[in-house]
Amino acid sequence: MDKIKLKEVKKIIIVASGKGGVGKSTVAAGIALKLAGEGYRTGLMDGDIYGPSVPTMFGTIGTHPTYTKMGDQSQIIPFNKFGVQFMSIGCMVEPDKAIIWRGPLASNGLKQILTDTAWDNLDYLIVDTPPGTGDIHLTLLQQFYINGVIVVTTPQAVSMADVQKAVAFFKDPHFGIPVMGIVENMAWFSPSRHPEEQYHIFGKNGGQHLANQFDLQLIAQIPIDEHLCETCDTGQLNKLFNNPTINHAFNQIISSIIKPPLHYKGDAAFTKQTASYLNK
Ligand SMILES: Nc1ncnc2c1ncn2[C@@H]1O[C@H](COP(=O)(O)OP(=O)(O)OP(=O)(O)O)[C@@H](O)[C@H]1O
Ligand SMILES: [Mg+2]
């Protein structure tokens, strides 16, 4: 089956994890904002059809997108805030209406939104995905040219076991998708009045262990921030980088996206073909 090449999108990066609630959406949105801040034309696609959170983080809940005609085809105009073009299934339905879609329907929905959105000349499209590795991930990997996956984990063992499965999935040589590295979120907590203190509430070095296990790079560690939840819940994502440690972590993440190593460390799935997508 031929893969779909989105004409207006140069590179697609997936943010994933085997585990729910580890911060995938926060990391995906933060990456998009940072890339946009660096002058890259950036899009964010909320691929979490069952629990979309992009509309909340961008403060667009209840806003419906508008449409435009491209030839005889109708296209969705993406939202634009903080310099990021974004789209979410959550923008298409009322927030209180649960989407009771089974796997194939959900992945077809995502495919359709991705292809029917009038992305405007993007350097990067970041795709936030649901927890685990299901139909949505398979659809993305099998039907689109994906340049890489960033895997998010929290340090505790219960998270690690699920994330290990996800890393193994993405490293499957059949997909040939480079795992760009691991981001450890909620790595520690530092009280704002005592920034020099670090409390490893969920354990220590879990992200590094995971990276070592799969011979991957630990790209960044993001601490727990007492204001982050409110920042995201109230659509003020631009305040995400007020915490200098979080700002630094996101700088590290985007530099590994902008200047990826020639070969991702130890990535067995890295093929010549994927190398050529990366250089596109
Ligand atoms: N580093 C952090 N410090 C404090 N709160 C955080 C941090 N990262 C994420 N959160 C909060 O934790 C909650 C879960 O984060 P998020 O929604 O990004 O996770 P997720 O992996 O996308 O979840 P899901 O699996 O449900 O899609 C959110 O309320 C978010 O604001
Ligand atoms: Mg999420």
What percent of the chain has pLDDT above 70? 87
Instruction: Say yes or no: CB of residue 235 within 6 Å of ligand 1.
Output: no
pLDDT tier, 94 (very low <50, low <70, confident <90, very high otherwise): low
Instruction: Say yes or no: CB of residue 224 within 6 Å of ligand 1.
Output: yes
Q: Which pLDDT belongs to residue 263?
A: 58
Instruction: Say yes or no: CB of residue 231 within 6 Å of ligand 1.
Output: no
Q: Which pLDDT belongs to residue 261?
A: 65
Q: Which pLDDT belongs to residue 93?
A: 66
Q: Which pLDDT belongs to residue 267?
A: 53
Measured by CA distance, the residue closest to atom 23 of ligand 1 is 21
What percent of the chain has pLDDT above 90? 52
Of the listed ligands, the closest to the CA of 21 is 1
Tell me the average pLDDT across 143-172.
88
CA distance 246 to 280: 30
Q: Quick check: 227 pLDDT over 50?
A: yes
Q: Which pLDDT belongs to residue 64?
A: 86
Q: Counting atoms of ligand 1 from 1, which one is nearest the CA of 29?
A: 18
Of the listed ligands, the closest to the CA of 17 is 1
pLDDT tier, 134 (very low <50, low <70, confident <90, very high otherwise): confident
What is this structure's pTM?
0.91
**Residue 173: both structure tokens together:** 């040589």
**Residue where the block lists tokens 């359709």:** 112
**CA-to-CA separations, 166 to 31, 57, 83, 129, 133, in angstroms, rounded:** 20, 25, 31, 12, 6
